Structure 1
Amino acid sequence: MGTGTPVLTPGDGDRAPTDASGSPGPAVQTVSAGDVFATLGTSPRGLPFAEVAARRDRFGPNELPRAGRGGWWRDLVGQFTDLFAVMLLVASAITFLAYGLQEPRDVGTLQLAVAIAGVVVLNAAIGFAQEYSAERTAESLQAMVPHTCRVLRDGERQELPARDLVPGDVVVLEAGDAVSADCRLVEAHEVSVNNAALTGESDAVGRTGEPVAGGPVLHARNCVFMGTDVVAGSAKAVVFATGVATEFGRVFRLAAAAPRQKTPLQRQVALMARRVAGAALAIGAALFAVRLPTGQPLVETFVFALGVMVALVPEGLPATLSVSLAIGVRRMARRHALVKQLLAVEALGSTTVVCTDKTGTLTQAEMTVVHVWAGGELHAVSGVGYAPVGEVADPGPVRELLRAAGLCSNARLVPLRVGAGRRSRSDREGRRVLGDTTEGALLVAAEKAGLDLAAEEAAAPRVTEYPFDSSRKLMSTVHRTPDGYRAYVKGAPQELLARCTAIDWRGERQPLTGALRAAVTDANDRLASQGLRVLAAASRPRADSRPTQDEVESKLTLLGLVGMLDPPRPEVSDAVDACRRAGIRIVMVTGDHPLTAEAVARRVGIVRQPAPAVVTGTRLDALDDDGLDTLLADSGELLLCRVSPEHKMRVVTALRRRGEVVAVTGDGANDAPALKHADIGVAMGASGTDVAREAAVMVLLDDSFASITAAVRLGRSVYQNIRKFLIYLFSHNIAELVPILAATFAGFPLVPITAVQILAIDLGSDVLPALALGAEPPEPDVMDRRPRSRRERLFSAAVMGRVLFLGGIQALGVTAVFFWHIHASGIPYSDFTEDDIVYREAITMVQAGIVVSQFFNALAVRTDRESVFRIGLLSNPLLLAAGCFGIALMAAISYLPPLQAVFNTAPLDAVDWAVLVGLGAALLAAEEIRKAWLRRRRQPSAKGEAG
């Protein structure tokens, strides 16, 4: 895919096509700064106001479009496309038709049609409300590009909304600014930019206004790009691409083209829905065919078959599933994890591989000094980030070193600017770095050593500066002090060491002998081997205020070395350990240098082996799909470095092809395609870009990697709880179906339980207990288990066996109660009518029997093997309250005349209730016996394994 970068032909302002390399064309990159204006149809004074309006009409606003949502009404309509919903809507429509064809019309048929339609509407409302709320919360995070920028138009300097930029605009950039569009630099004064949001590389890179050779625009050193930050220097630049035509927009389009992947639970629920719907239709059709030849009226026979179908469809399941997942959403929200799609809650629970970015995800995205070396001694520095919290161990010997480094810096620590684009952890603590982050780290270290740099600058004002240059890798300043002029120099250790003739060795100036040079070199190597960025500082007295650069940077006295890093987040190591215990593989995927990536990976525990597999993007390009599969099949430690968005997508695709459930974390625009292509994308909310948050289904509002571990734990708990309430819901479906089948084959002309009664059980009595089961807390050992297989079925053999066991006991009980009551009356089958009091009592006992036994069933399914009495009958008070509500509702249906008229029920006496409670207790006792048998069966196996 090309970059899509527009190039304007001289004078006409039209967009020209990009070349095959993805470059904006040789003119913009290779021509001199003066010719850039002609190439892009503008001038050093900027665009005329009339031309701005024309280009805005041609190119549109400088912003990325929101993801293609069809509006809230499309989301709402989508709730009715679930297979259960479609099936029930068809059933409701046919029931309305049956009501219209009946002679005389039976109000019960109309009630059934309305009730079924109401079920669908209720389920849709619950699911829509949960997902709409999450989406609106996600949209509140949108803050991708800076809101304003400085522009020259008709020679006037203006501050404008970033969305108003057009190709050809001349923008002014300074340290601390975020770049609003893709621009070609025409003036550059020691400019460095942070491209982490676009490339994933944490180190600032220098920019120039000079022409460069042709090639991919992203590699052009005279271009800056939307979504990146200026960390040092100042510049003027001409906009050559805006909106979706930018490099940022290219990644946006790449992410938009990737289809959203279905979660494992979505696939399992869809499979379950197809099977249940197929079974319901088949059984309903079979019973219709059996009863029709018996002389029953066609419409009544159809309504009977429809009742069977309704008995098999778990009408309460969609609502129960949605609200149960919503409980998981709220639990995750308390851990600062925003879930935009309900089913994503469970997806993390089945994750087998986490592909994690480095910068801003594992690390703070803040440089921090951790060691200072001076006079042959190493001084540790505590604290993280730009907050002055921490101290330098024994700061006396290193104060002059840190004073020199602080004075020879242009960065400033400033309060958080409201409305700034990307934010970091230190922003939330009230400070950010204006300028180079390396210099910011030096300023913080000086504060920790007890230095007041403002006072130091006042006492030694700067009179001359030689800025940092990438060729000599040094920066020098000259200051006026009470003792005369003094020069301070900082930069790369090897470059600076070559210009030193002396060293400050434990408070004394000594000649820099070969042995001392070797000591400095050894100290530098030790710090660099830890993955630290190392700077050296030196000084010398001067007699004049305007020495030449060579005079300043020669015959120096070395003061020492400073080692710094972008520190890992403190909670990451524990989170990585938890993922290892849970059997989750972590693969670092970053655009950074391999040595930097490995150093961070070792600090957080991703890498523990001496020689992990470190693979660059260049090597990935050389691998075909089979070679990539072979690489990923090795379960060893793997670091993927210097990779592009396309590489990340390819790796995620290959992992999913191998049957892995893949979670991808990231914060930059370069992460967005992989975030969307993964089973679940996890973006950073505070420091992440808008493109990343848009592509992800989960956003970590606190940017904490530990929240991922918490989400995995909750996701696994959600899956376990879903299985619990599935057993609970489907077991009573058997109790509803078996009496109907028994009545059919026994020749009884009426149904033992009506479709309206079934809906009352499914939605009135069963939903709340099922939700209470869905709110069960995670089991203590949930993170000590291996991830379940992607191929594992939601309805496994064990689950189906338990459904049949518990449902069979309920079915035998309520069927026996129904026929016992019918036979006890002595009335022949053929004489029973729907208005007969005995029949009404009998169907009331069937409904009440299912409700009461479900109360005991809810207690039984809380554990797989452990006795419910061991974990405590009262340990889930919500479950007890929900069960009592269901029984109270059943009592109201039995005793209140208005509800009796709707459900055709009759009042039950105390003996009836006692019988039904006895049936429920028998179910719980049978389940306890089964669990005890399983425990005894497991004990010999455990002893054998121990032996």
Structure 2
Amino acid sequence: FPFDSDRKQMSTIHQTAEGNQIIFVKGAPDQVIDYCKYYQKNGTKEELGESIKSKVLSQNKELAQEALRVLAIAFRFVDKENLDEIKEIKDAEKELIFLGLMAMIDPPRKEAIESVKTCLRAGIHPIMITGDYSLTAKAIASELGIYHSGDRIITGEELEKMPQSELEEVVENTTIFARVSPRHKRRIISALQKNKQVVAMTGDGVNDAPALKESDIGIAMGIAGTDVTKEASDMILTDDNFASIVAAVEEGRKIYQNIKKFIHYLISCNLGEIIAIAGAIFIGLPSPLIPIQILWVNLVTDGLPALALGLDPTEEDIMRRPPRDPNKGIFSGKMGFNIFSQGIFIGFLTLGAFYLGLTFYSLDIARTMAFATLSFSQLSQSLNSRSEKYSIFKIGLFTNLYLMMAIFISGFLQYIVISMASLQVFFKTVPLTLNQWWIIIILSLSPIIYVELLKLMKLTYKK
């Protein structure tokens, strides 16, 4: 008779040499002891009274408090004349002889303890849902750092009697659900979701599949998990290690941040192009850029740094930030302000270079200066896009070598387009003097100074 989460025990039947049968039962001590009528002492069978039962349960508590998983072992003989009587579980698991307790230790992995700390710093609330005895669960959870003084522990028995409305009130202050059945997991998930929590649930058994389906992120065990569980899950842990879940959260946050950097960079740069062209038309000037130059900027100057931003390393405090609100868009917080203000700034710089060229030189020189200023200021903007909060000098210029290579290649290609005679005809550019290049360099570095000042005044991010 296999183990199930309701009985919390299992039985096996074996034949003896005499043709009789012996039934062995193992399971949760507080469950097995209720099926025992006798206990074995020095090889003899004696009546199991309340005093002995209390001693057994007291010993179970002591072992459980030491984070040991405890099993009770019991048996009984069945004469060959009575074999036909055993047809159901209840026929086998009765009038048992209690043999003793067996305590096992399954120490938490070192990386699991550190991962729980990381979760708590990241605003993730780990909850232990287990079939273990409550004291065992409490001891293990305390060692892991999941349980803290004042947290609530709810058992499956209490959960059965508890209305869903009450569970919804207490679930956020509960860190351990002990002696629970798989069917309880769906109630716990529902209560957390009612409190607007995003719930990730792990599971390995067939009975866990409905709970994994109900959760926002169902996580199946790759080694111990059944095929049904894996089918119902959103993610499979190939190593059955809790630390891998935390690593996946960190990687997910990194990917999301890099997508934001990518979008921030491209939209702010494209907005700068629009502001420059629209601004010139609005004040009655010729267009500062011709179509081939705009195409070049979008394909080369924008493209390589944008791809490199997608490979930006993880920001050092990414797992010390609270989870983002799933109902808020990607432009929430200060991102919309950053894109708009920085895009306008790049546009005005380009327009300024064009105006200076028109005022002191010629239309061809003005367009070349605007073209160069727009391209190089966008390369500066790629450095600004690496963080809304931290200075590029604190992050380090060379912590993303892909970006530095992209800036160098794009900058070199831009210089070639302006300086090489055969390309000047194609892109309608002209050679520039040293003084004109100095104007371009100063204007192109201005976005870094502007954004660094905004970061210093804490205007680019929410505190």
For the superposition of Structure 1 and Structure 2, which TM-score range results when normalised by the shorter chain? 0.7 to 0.9
Residue 383 (structure 2) pairs with residue 821 (structure 1): no
CA separation of 1:567 and 1:759: change in aligned 2, threshold 3 A: farther
Instruction: Measure the CA separation in 2 of the matches of 1:761 and 1:526.
Output: 72
Residue 315 (structure 2) pairs with residue 779 (structure 1): yes
The equivalent residue for 1:876 is 400
8 Å contact from structure 1 (residues 537, 559) kept in 2: yes
8 Å contact from structure 2 (residues 132, 178) kept in 1: no
How far 1:895 moved relative to its partner?
A: 5.6
Instruction: Measure the CA separation in 1 of the matches of 2:300 and 2:21.
Output: 75
The equivalent residue for 2:454 is 930
The equivalent residue for 1:502 is 42
The equivalent residue for 1:805 is 341
Residue 272 (structure 2) pairs with residue 723 (structure 1): no
Q: Which letter maps to 1:193?
A: P
8 Å contact from structure 2 (residues 384, 392) kept in 1: yes
Larger Rg: 1
The equivalent residue for 2:275 is 738
Residue 115 (structure 2) pairs with residue 575 (structure 1): yes
8 Å contact from structure 1 (residues 598, 639) kept in 2: no
Secondary structure at the counterpart of residue 585 of structure 1: coil
Residue 428 (structure 2) pairs with residue 905 (structure 1): yes
How far 1:703 moved relative to its partner?
A: 1.2
How far 1:715 moved relative to its partner?
A: 2.7
8 Å contact from structure 1 (residues 769, 883) kept in 2: yes
Q: Which protein is richer in helix relative to its size?
A: 2
The equivalent residue for 1:669 is 206
Secondary structure at the counterpart of residue 571 of structure 1: helix
The equivalent residue for 2:85 is none
8 Å contact from structure 2 (residues 297, 375) kept in 1: yes
The equivalent residue for 1:65 is none
Secondary structure at the counterpart of residue 637 of structure 1: strand
Instruction: Measure the CA separation in 2 of the matches of 1:203 and 1:494.
Output: 12
Deviation track 1:853-874 (CA, whole Å, cap 9, x = no partner) reads 1222222343445443344333
The equivalent residue for 1:629 is 168
The equivalent residue for 1:612 is 152
8 Å contact from structure 1 (residues 617, 643) kept in 2: no
How far 1:705 moved relative to its partner?
A: 0.5
CA separation of 1:681 and 1:766: change in aligned 2, threshold 3 A: farther
- Equivalence map 1:426-465=2 (5 Å): none
Q: Which letter maps to 1:890?
A: Q
The equivalent residue for 1:145 is none
Q: Which letter maps to 1:580?
A: L
CA separation of 1:934 and 1:565: change in aligned 2, threshold 3 A: closer
How far 1:931 moved relative to its partner?
A: 3.4
Instruction: Measure the CA separation in 2 of the matches of 1:653 and 1:901.
Output: 67
CA separation of 1:894 and 1:684: change in aligned 2, threshold 3 A: farther
Equivalenced residue count is 434
Aligned residues with identical type, % of pairs: 32
Instruction: Give me the TM-score of the superposition, normalised by structure 2.
Output: 0.74
Instruction: Measure the CA separation in 1 of the matches of 2:281 and 2:291.
Output: 15
CA separation of 1:739 and 1:547: change in aligned 2, threshold 3 A: closer
How far 1:654 moved relative to its partner?
A: 4.7
CA separation of 1:681 and 1:537: change in aligned 2, threshold 3 A: closer
Q: Which letter maps to 2:309?
A: L
The equivalent residue for 1:851 is 375
8 Å contact from structure 2 (residues 21, 80) kept in 1: no
The equivalent residue for 1:795 is 331
Q: Which runs of 5+ in 1 are unaligned?
A: 1-191, 207-231, 234-408, 411-461, 475-491, 504-514, 539-545, 550-557, 827-837, 942-947
The equivalent residue for 1:697 is 234
Deviation track 1:411-457 (CA, whole Å, cap 9, x = no partner) reads xxxxxxxxxxxxxxxxxxxxxxxxxxxxxxxxxxxxxxxxxxxxxxx
The equivalent residue for 1:888 is 412
Q: Which runs of 5+ in 2 are unaligned?
A: 27-31, 44-50, 83-97
Instruction: Measure the CA separation in 2 of the matches of 1:856 and 1:844.
Output: 18
How far 1:881 moved relative to its partner?
A: 0.7
8 Å contact from structure 1 (residues 612, 637) kept in 2: yes
The equivalent residue for 2:29 is none
Instruction: Measure the CA separation in 2 of the matches of 1:525 and 1:466.
Output: 36
Instruction: Measure the CA separation in 1 of the matches of 2:21 and 2:308.
Output: 66
8 Å contact from structure 1 (residues 537, 561) kept in 2: no
Q: Which letter maps to 2:288?
A: P
8 Å contact from structure 2 (residues 221, 240) kept in 1: yes
8 Å contact from structure 2 (residues 6, 181) kept in 1: no
8 Å contact from structure 1 (residues 201, 590) kept in 2: no
Q: Which letter maps to 1:581?
A: R
The equivalent residue for 1:261 is none
CA RMSD of aligned residues (A): 4.6
Secondary structure at the counterpart of residue 702 of structure 1: coil
CA separation of 1:914 and 1:464: change in aligned 2, threshold 3 A: farther
Instruction: Measure the CA separation in 1 of the matches of 2:299 and 2:206.
Output: 45
Residue 177 (structure 2) pairs with residue 639 (structure 1): yes
The equivalent residue for 1:167 is none
Deviation track 1:43-71 (CA, whole Å, cap 9, x = no partner) reads xxxxxxxxxxxxxxxxxxxxxxxxxxxxx
CA separation of 1:850 and 1:676: change in aligned 2, threshold 3 A: farther
Instruction: Give me the TM-score of the superposition, normalised by structure 1.
Output: 0.39
Instruction: Measure the CA separation in 2 of the matches of 1:675 and 1:887.
Output: 51
Secondary structure at the counterpart of residue 275 of structure 2: helix
Q: Which letter maps to 1:787?
A: P
How far 1:741 moved relative to its partner?
A: 1.3
Secondary structure at the counterpart of residue 665 of structure 1: strand
CA separation of 1:666 and 1:807: change in aligned 2, threshold 3 A: same
Instruction: Measure the CA separation in 2 of the matches of 1:202 and 1:782.
Output: 44
How far 1:807 moved relative to its partner?
A: 2.2
Secondary structure at the counterpart of residue 699 of structure 1: strand
CA separation of 1:919 and 1:532: change in aligned 2, threshold 3 A: same
How far 1:708 moved relative to its partner?
A: 1.3
Instruction: Measure the CA separation in 2 of the matches of 1:901 and 1:465.
Output: 103
How far 1:736 moved relative to its partner?
A: 0.5
Deviation track 1:308-349 (CA, whole Å, cap 9, x = no partner) reads xxxxxxxxxxxxxxxxxxxxxxxxxxxxxxxxxxxxxxxxxx
Secondary structure at the counterpart of residue 586 of structure 1: coil
8 Å contact from structure 1 (residues 527, 534) kept in 2: no
8 Å contact from structure 1 (residues 620, 628) kept in 2: no
The equivalent residue for 1:111 is none
Instruction: Measure the CA separation in 2 of the matches of 1:604 and 1:881.
Output: 44
- Equivalence map 1:104-253=2 (5 Å): 192-193=1-2, 205-206=10-11
Residue 124 (structure 2) pairs with residue 588 (structure 1): no
Instruction: Measure the CA separation in 2 of the matches of 1:521 and 1:591.
Output: 17
CA separation of 1:651 and 1:611: change in aligned 2, threshold 3 A: closer
The equivalent residue for 1:382 is none
Instruction: Measure the CA separation in 2 of the matches of 1:681 and 1:521.
Output: 36
- Equivalence map 1:52-71=2 (5 Å): none
The equivalent residue for 1:862 is 386
- Equivalence map 1:40-79=2 (5 Å): none
Instruction: Measure the CA separation in 1 of the matches of 2:299 and 2:216.
Output: 32
Instruction: Measure the CA separation in 1 of the matches of 2:38 and 2:157.
Output: 35
CA separation of 1:809 and 1:674: change in aligned 2, threshold 3 A: same
Secondary structure at the counterpart of residue 277 of structure 2: helix
Instruction: Measure the CA separation in 1 of the matches of 2:388 and 2:224.
Output: 42
Deviation track 1:589-628 (CA, whole Å, cap 9, x = no partner) reads 457776775565455443334672415499469635x555
Which of 280, 288, 295 in structure 2 is aligned with 1:752? Answer: 288
Secondary structure at the counterpart of residue 708 of structure 1: helix
The equivalent residue for 2:23 is 469
8 Å contact from structure 2 (residues 272, 346) kept in 1: yes
Q: Which letter maps to 1:704?
A: N
CA separation of 1:697 and 1:822: change in aligned 2, threshold 3 A: farther
8 Å contact from structure 1 (residues 725, 773) kept in 2: yes
Greater relative contact order structure (CA < 8 Å, 6+ sep): 1
